[in-house]
Amino acid sequence: MGPEREIGELLRRKGLTLGAVESATGGLISHLITSVPGSSDYFKGSVTSYSNEVKIKLIGVRAETLERYGSVSPQVVEEMAAGGRKVLAVDICLADTGIAGPGGATPGKAVGLFYLGLAHRGGVSSRNHEFRGSRARNKRSAAEAALSWLREFLLGLEDA
């Protein structure tokens, strides 16, 4: 098991709740988090917003942002994380968008490009990752990167 158990302990200790808005990972982040017994203490839910329509209508991503930057962009993933934090009424929300492969590449955006978003009380930020595996491996790598970042963020709260 990856960092999911430690993430749960950190969330529980801080009294924080977590949600996720997933796109390219298709629910894998949520699956990993909920594989920990007792995760219902801190994990409130997730939305798999695979289509732009769901991103707009349910999560609150602006159509203008999608049109200007495309669904695989730091701007969109940050709006996904911030919108998910509101919709799911959680303290922290993870989000992802990307091109899992094998197709889907566009000029300047290769297969394996993922953006991760993290929204919390202090704001929202994003990170990009590029993976070079199969579709399944890219999805797994993105989910693991998101959880690793969340763990790092929570440990930073411990030090504060």
Strand ranges across the sheet with 92-98: 43-48, 18-22, 92-98, 113-120, 123-130
DSSP string, 57-86: III---HHHHHHH-SSSHHHHHHHHHHHHH
Instruction: For residue 2, name the pLDDT band (cuts at 50, 70, 90).
Output: confident
Rounded to the nearest integer, the mean pLDDT of the chain is 97
- What would the mean pLDDT of 120-146 be, rounded to a whole number? 98
Instruction: For residue 137, name the pLDDT band (cuts at 50, 70, 90).
Output: very high
- Whether the CB-CB separation of 43 and 33 falls below 8 Å is answered with yes
Instruction: For residue 21, name the pLDDT band (cuts at 50, 70, 90).
Output: very high
Please state which CATH number belongs to domain 3-156.
Answer: 3.90.950.20
Residue 111 reports pLDDT greater than 70: yes
Domain boundaries, the chain: 3-156
Stated pTM of the model: 0.96
CA distance 38 to 98: 30
**What pLDDT, on the 0 to 100 scale, is given for residue 160?**
58
- Summarised one tens digit per residue, pLDDT across range 73-86 is 999 999 999 999 99
- What would the mean pLDDT of 128-137 be, rounded to a whole number? 98
Percent of the chain exceeding pLDDT 90 equals 96
How many residues does this entry show for the chain? 160
